[in-house]
Amino acid sequence: MRTIQITIDEKLLAALDADEEVRKLGRSALFRKIAAEFLESRRRTGISSRYRKAYGDGSGLGPEFAGWERESTWPAE
């Protein structure tokens, strides 16, 4: 792990230090957890955004794939 410095408002820091979970985990663990959750949220937002861009306008896969559904068949059960 690497040590970093951050600047934080004194009132916010006091509120964090007063929190039971922060006292139990420690500040560093809390900030690691928050950073990981932030990055995961950004990853999911990016995936959703790309999905909406690709499929969101209702036009399907586009004209280059038109007719493909007639070429496929479902396996017999």
Report the candidate in 2, 9, 73 with the shortest Cα–Cα distance to residue 35: 2
pLDDT 10s digits, 49-59: 888 887 776 66
Burial of 9 by CB count in 10 Å (0-12 exposed, 13-18 middle, 19+ buried)? exposed
| % of the chain at pLDDT higher than 70 | 88
What's the mean pLDDT when you consider all of the chain? Answer: 87
Q: Is the pTM of this model over 0.75?
A: no
Report the candidate in 22, 24, 23, 31 with the shortest Cα–Cα distance to residue 3: 31
Q: The tokens 């500040």 sit on which residue?
A: 27
